[in-house]
Amino acid sequence: MQSLSQFLTERGVDPQLQPLLQALAQCGVEISQLVRRGALAGVLGATETENVQGETQKKLDVIANDLIKQRLAAEPSVKAMASEEEDHTVDAHADGHYLVSFDPLDGSSNIDINSLVGTIFSVLPASDRKGEAAFMQPGINQVAACYVLYGPATVLALTTGEGTSLFSLDPDTGEFLLVEDAMTIPAETNEFAINASNQRFWQPAMQSYIADLLAGDTGPRGKNFNMRWIAAMVGDVHRVLCRGGIFTYPTDTKNPAKPYKLRLMYEANPMAMLVEQAGGSASTGYERILTLQPEAIHQRVAVILGSRDEVAACLGYHSQA
């Protein structure tokens, strides 16, 4: 099987970008080892601190964040980085060519129950602007996006703008090996993923859309749908990439100060790029995610992504509203 390093070389990926992508993969290898050892490594449980999001940090959140920061700081190509767990951007090398945004451990609530978690990365070109302003680029500017999913097997999905490829970690060699060269999301689906407990807080358009899915073959859609929900975006998006489906965390009124859940820079943008490069679609319900102009590194947005035809059907409800 082709290793990640061989893949990057043979695909002609920018030689300056290759070491960075391999460094991101190595972060995944090291975090995978910690996740696999769990309580034996003393990484389970919560800390007594909150991150900038106001969320209680898990021990592994902090450990993964520090591990990634340390490894990226050693990469000459990294100019600065932005993390879910950091209040502000972190500078690395003044002459670096890239900016890296990341969610060190997506799905933290799953850690202590031994369920799916993952790491998400977004890579942008560096600019002359300083600090947070340098990161204020739309998702279409991304030069790479990837996630590492820690499940029964540790897998890495990667795009550099020419399709989405899947790699699996060989535990014997510690290398990621190519297992699927060009992932393709089926245009149609009968699976959807949404946190149904928030149903009463959704906009009318999403209320109507989900109600019609639940009506099954007796409703206007004329077919039965299954609901899947992992409570980790990385796990739900991985399922969509592997077999199709639609994943959404829509606008809601549960907390009027925070109508959106997912972060644009290090969750929505990289996942949207991976999905679009596999033939899917990604929208807020009203705009293509990758064209949004960021206003802050921790900005939140609504997300609807997955199988092209089903996303279009969902957006139809929003346009009618």
Query: Binding site, residues?
Result: 84, 103, 105-109, 195, 261, 267
In this structure, what token pair is assigned to residue 11? 């695909």
218 vs 17, 62, 226, 314, 315, CA distance in Å? 51, 48, 14, 18, 22
Instruction: Please state, in angstroms and rounded to a whole number, the distance separating the CA atoms of residues 113 and 125.
Output: 37
Residue (of 211, 278, 271, 212) closest to 243 by Cα position: 278
Residue (of 182, 152, 135) closest to 299 by Cα position: 135
Pick out the residues of the known binding site for Mg(2+): 84, 103, 105-106, 267
152 vs 29, 144, 155, 271, 294, CA distance in Å? 14, 25, 9, 21, 35
Instruction: Please state, in angstroms and rounded to a whole number, the distance separating the CA atoms of residues 66 and 64.
Output: 6
Q: Are the C-beta atoms of 275 and 139 separated by less than 8 Å?
A: no
265 vs 75, 89, 224, 250, 261, CA distance in Å? 21, 12, 34, 17, 13
Instruction: Please state, in angstroms and rounded to a whole number, the distance separating the CA atoms of residues 50 and 199.
Output: 27
Q: What angle do CA 73, 76, 82 make, to 5 degrees?
A: 45
Maximum C-alpha span of the chain: 61
Going through 160-298 in order, the beta strands assigned E by DSSP cover 164-170, 175-180, 191-193, 226-227, 246-249, 262-263, 281-283
Pick out the residues of the known binding site for substrate: 106-109, 195, 261
Instruction: Please state, in angstroms and rounded to a whole number, the distance separating the CA atoms of residues 279 and 161.
Output: 12
Phi, then psi, of 79 in degrees rounded to 5: -85, -40
